[in-house]
Amino acid sequence: MFGLRTWILGVKSLLLHPMRSLLTVLGIFIGVASVIWLLAIGEGIGKKAKEQIEGLGADNIIVRSRKPPDEGAGGFSAPKLFGLTRAECDTIESTIETIGSVLRIRELPYKFSYAGNPDVKPIDGRLVGCTEGYAEVTRLEMSGVGRFLKDDIDVNVNVCVLAGELSAYLFPFEDPIGKQIYLPESQDYFRVIGVLKPKNATAAIGGSLDAQDFSRDVYIHIKTMEQRFGDTVIKRGSGSFSAQEFQLSQATLRVKDVRDVPRTANVIKATLFSKEGEPRQDISVIVPYELLEQAATTKFMFMVFMGLIAAISLLVGGIGIMNIMLATVTERTREIGIRRAIGAKRKDIIQQFLIETIALSVVGGATGILGGLLCPAAVDATRFVMEQFAPKILDSLPEIVRETDAVIVPLSIPLAFCISVMVGVVFGIYPAMRAAQMDPIEALRHE
Amino acid sequence: MADLAASIKELTKTYKLQSEEVRALRGVTFDVPQGDYVAIMGPSGSGKSTLLNLLGCLDRPTSGSFFLGEDDVAKMDDDGLSTIRATRIGFVFQSYNLIPQLTVEENIEVPLYYQGRLDPSARQRCRELASMVGLGERLGHRPTQLSGGQQQRVAIARSLVNDPYFILADEATGNLDSVTTDEILQLFERLNNEGRTIIMVTHEDEVSAHAKRVIRLRDGLIQTDIQNTDRVTNLKKEAMAKIQDPAKPQMERKV
């Protein structure tokens, strides 16, 4: 009975009021398109977060030193050792069996200058003491020849590897390999043995890991750093003087089997933290594996939330359909009476009006899907326009907004379509029932 | 029984208003043989409309029986009545009641559509009916593009499409001028001559004068049920026109 003819008649009836039908379709269009858009954007953000966390390595546990809040105002007191110590790190490495390797990292803020001409304005950067494994863990790549701090280099010789951007600043016109850079603060010279490819900064992850900018890094062997610079860092400024003492900025512990990560993390926390299990102010333990799980949960919540918003807009669209259909039923009371008088059963009338609502919502759904598929293109276009005309506003936005791409969730398309048909049925059934329940005699008398 | 298009026995209908009961029909009995042409008349409040609704199977009586063929429709449910309306009754209304968004052809097809009998031969029949009422050239027109008389002819074609037991006309000429009224009445007469049973509800004596039989209702009862001996037929009309004004050329109207 749901024959082609019934559909044609339904569409004909709808076309009697093209504007009204168009506006009703618009309601569903917006609802369905927003389902796809919101899911696509949610998926994009989730994917981005997942990539960032996976960049840290799911099988890694990161122990990072934090500078505790300053105690005692004013005056100079002897610097107090804080953070992860070499001894603690050695203990962890030697006692916890599930740990495969330990990467020790020490980062110091430093100024770098071109050794050939000490008048060149020094540039602020970061001196990173590390070992060969650092390049792999942070996905740094060498540009051209040269090797990252190989384990067999002589730690008594000052050699370094430069970040690509820093190298371009210090050595704009010459090949830096074999040349020396100058550290004006400690009056040290380092010979360049390698240059890295430029690498984008990593984003901060939640509150647990700060964003890292690799563009002004100088990498030296951690043993060299220990021998040359000691554990105490003294900062002199105009009228200020501060000192801090720490041994390691970070240790990245690689767990042999990823399934052991949560267990190992607990053991590390137990080792580092006090017996009461009170977290130490100067150390944070970051477990990307847990973050990954958290991110999945967060993403799920986000999707549910987005879905809820989309559901609301669909609800509004559906109510729009119902409203229009109720008006239509009243307006066509006489037609209903005629149809009943010449042989239409109640179910024929229900079917007729239901088909009209389904037709409306399916058209809305189909166009909504097309609109939804435009989402990635629209996001790209918006970004492009922003870059062209309002780069400052774009820069001021958080990174997640700047760089997230919308990723269409394939399932969202059939889902959106089913939802639109369902909206048609759910919101069409009441007006259709009302039409069918009319007394044919009354309906025929209706003017 | 078989030669009766409809048979009504002791039909009553009582409406319950808030406090009082209105007895619109108090026991009406009559038979309509096949091929009859009945006019039902009566002042307002006589139960004319109620009887019409019952004859049209749009309503159920409070008591009594109404046989359409072998079936007592007085006891049918809503779906059963719908099927009876679709297969055994041809409605013609005062205000034509065509469906505005459908074409002439589609309007004629509607009753068949609800029976699921819309095959190519049935559609061919619809077109033949349209030509029969003189609208063969206007199959694609919509009701709004037609005059009142033309719309009523479409409605008559629609009422014939299911080959009904009887045509039920409710003030079918009430909205038409006298010339068009004549046209429609001639069409009814022709259909009756072809063997169609017609039940017509009207309050105009000029219209009822064309029927073979006139039933007058009053206060929910049949007041008179008489064969119309002074029946005005086309032949009579023509003859009378000749007598009154022999010089005037005879007007020929084709339906």
Verify that A246 and A104 share a domain, yes or no. yes
Q: Do B114 and A13 touch (CB under 8 A)?
A: no
pLDDT digits (tens, 9 = 90+) for A196-218: 888 777 666 655 566 778 888 89
In a domain, A207, yes or no: yes
A30: number of CA atoms within 13 Å, CB side? 15
pLDDT recorded at residue B250? 53
Rounded to the nearest 10 degrees, how much is the dihedral formed by the CA atoms of B204, B210, B214, B216? 0
Regarding whether A365 and A302 lie in a shared domain, the answer is: yes
Check whether residue A232 and residue A305 sit in a common domain: no
Give the model's pLDDT for residue A405. Answer: 83
Q: Is B59 on the interface with A (CB under 8 A)?
A: yes
Residues in B closer than 8 angstroms to A344, CB to CB, are 82, 86, 114
CA B185 – CA B85 distance, rounded (Å): 23
Query: H-helix or E-strand containing B149?
Result: helix B148-160
**Residue to substitute from B48, B54, B81, B82, interface A, most A β-carbons within 10 A:** B82
Mutate to test the interface with B, among A338, A352, A439 (most CBs of B within 10 A): A338
Q: Is A399 on the interface with B (CB under 8 A)?
A: no
* Total tally of structural domains belonging to chain A: 2
pLDDT in tens, A5-48: 788 888 888 888 899 899 999 988 988 898 888 888 888 888 88
Residues 76-135 of B with CB under 8 A from A: 78-79, 82-83, 85-87, 91, 93, 97-102, 110-111, 113-116, 118
Task: Let me know whether A315 and A398 are in one domain.
Answer: yes
Would you call A342 and B110 a contact, using CB atoms and an 8 Å cutoff? yes
Q: Which residues pair with A127 in a beta bridge?
A: A108, A218
pLDDT of residue A382: 87
- Per-residue model confidence (pLDDT) at position B170: 92
**Residues A176, A144 share a domain:** yes
Tokens in use for B243?
Answer: 């007598």
Q: Clarify whether residues A214 and A361 are in a common domain.
A: no
Residue contact A342–B158, C-beta within 8 A: yes
Interface test with A, best of B51, B53, B54, B58 (most A CBs within 10 A): B58
pLDDT in tens, A430-445: 999 999 999 999 999 8
A224 and A89 in a common domain: yes
Check B101 against A12: CB less than 8 A apart: yes
Which residues in B lie closer than 8 A to residue A335 (C-beta atoms)?
99-100
Contact A341 B85 (CB under 8 A): yes
Whether residues B114 and A5 touch (CB distance < 8 A) is answered with: no
A346 contact residues in B (CB cutoff 8 A): 78-79, 82
Cβ of B97 within 8 Å of Cβ of A444? The answer is yes
Neighbours of A22 (CB within 10 A): 14
Q: Return the top range by mean pLDDT from A179-188, A264-273, B98-107.
A: B98-107
Judge if pTM exceeds 0.90. Answer: no
Using one digit for the tens of pLDDT, what is the confidence trace for A366-407? 999 999 999 888 888 888 888 888 888 877 777 767 777 888
In angstroms and rounded to an integer, the radius of gyration of the C-alpha atoms of chain B is 19
Same-domain pairing of A437 and A334: yes
**For residue A273, is it within any domain?**
no
Distance CA A328, CA A427 (A): 14
Taking an 8 Å cut-off on Cβ atoms, the answer to whether A5 and B87 are in contact is no
Residue of A nearest to B49 (CA): A441
Is some CB atom of chain B closer than 8 A to the CB atom of A338?
A: yes
Do A107 and A215 belong together in one domain?
A: yes
C-alpha–C-alpha distance, residues A24 and A318, integer Å: 9
Q: Do B162 and A343 lie within an 8 Å CB cutoff?
A: yes
| pLDDT confidence bin for B98, thresholds 50/70/90 | very high
Give how far Cα B170 sits from Cα of B40, B95, B155, B245, Å: 10, 9, 12, 34
A348 and chain B in contact, CB less than 8 A = yes
Q: Taking CB atoms and an 8 Å cut-off, how many pairs form between chains A and B?
A: 68
More confident residue, A76 or B197: B197
Q: How far is A12 from chain B (nearest CA, A)?
A: 7
Quote the minimal CA–CA distance from B112 to chain A in Å.
9
- What is residue B248's predicted lDDT score, i.e. its pLDDT? 53
Does the beta carbon of B147 lie under 8 angstroms from any beta carbon of chain A?
Answer: no
Please, what is the average pLDDT of chain A?
A: 84
Q: A189: how many CB neighbours lie within 10 A of its CB?
A: 11
Per-residue pLDDT tens digits for B202-228: 988 888 999 999 999 999 999 999 898
Q: CA-nearest residue of chain A to B162?
A: A342
Between the alpha carbon of residue A123 and those of residues A78, A195, A224, A254, B75, the distances in Å are 29, 17, 22, 33, 101
A344·B101 Cβ contact <8 A: no
Q: Is residue A274 part of a domain?
A: no
What helix, strand, coil percent values describe chain B, rounded to 5? 40, 25, 35
Distance from CA of B211 to the nearest CA of A (A): 24
More confident residue, B253 or A140: A140
The DSSP bridge pattern shows strands A283-286 and A250-255 to be: unpaired
pLDDT tens column, A51-76: 877 777 778 888 888 877 765 545 55
**Cβ contacts of B178 within 8 Å, gap of 6 or more:** none
C-beta atoms of A338 and B85 within 8 A:
no
Contact: A343, B86; criterion CB under 8 Å: yes
Q: Using CA atoms in the order A81, A84, A88, A93, what is the torsion angle rounded to 10 degrees?
A: -160
CA distance A440 to chain B (A): 7
A147: three-class secondary structure by DSSP: coil
Is A263 domain-assigned?
no
Question: What is the domain extent for residue A240?
Answer: 60-256
Q: What is the DSSP string of A39-51?
A: HHHHHHHHHHHHH
- Rounded to the nearest 10 degrees, how much is the dihedral formed by the CA atoms of B92, B96, B100, B105? 50
Beta strand extents in A203-362 (DSSP E only) = 217-221, 232-237, 240-246, 250-255, 283-286
Q: Which of A9, A16, A440 sits opposite B58 (nearest CB)?
A: A440
Separation in Å, CA of A352 to nearest CA in chain B: 11
pLDDT exceeds 50 at position B1:
no
CB A116 within 8 A of CB A201: no
For residue B141, pLDDT over 90 is answered with yes
Nearest to B91 among A12, A341, A348 (CB): A341
Residue B114: its chain A contacts at CB < 8 A? 339, 342-345, 348
Does residue A110 sit in the same domain as residue A48?
Answer: no
Chain A CA closest to residue B81? A343
CATH class of B4-244: alpha beta
Are A203 and A315 members of one domain? no
Chain B: nearest CA to A438, how far in angstroms?
12
CA distances from A377 to A149, A370, A384, A408, A432 (A): 43, 12, 10, 11, 40
Shortest Cα–Cα distance, A334 to chain B (Å): 8
Q: In what order do the strands lie in the sheet with A81-82?
A: A81-82, A240-246, A232-237
Does the residue A276 lie in any domain?
no
Asked whether residue A31 falls in the same domain as residue A99, the answer is no
pLDDT of residue B254: 52
pLDDT tens digits for range A109-166 = 888 888 777 677 888 888 998 888 888 777 788 887 667 777 777 888 888 888 888 8
Residue of chain B whose Cα is closest to the Cα of A439: B58
Looking at this protein, which amino acid is placed at residue B39? A
Q: What percent of chain A has pLDDT over 70?
A: 92
CA distances in angstroms from B82 to A338, A344, B135, B158, listed in the order given: 12, 6, 28, 16
- Determine which of A408-417, B56-65, B165-174 has the lowest per-residue pLDDT on average: A408-417
Chain B residues within 8 A of A444 when measuring between CB atoms: 58, 93, 97
Given A229, A256, A283, which residue is the final one in a domain? A256
pLDDT at A75: 55
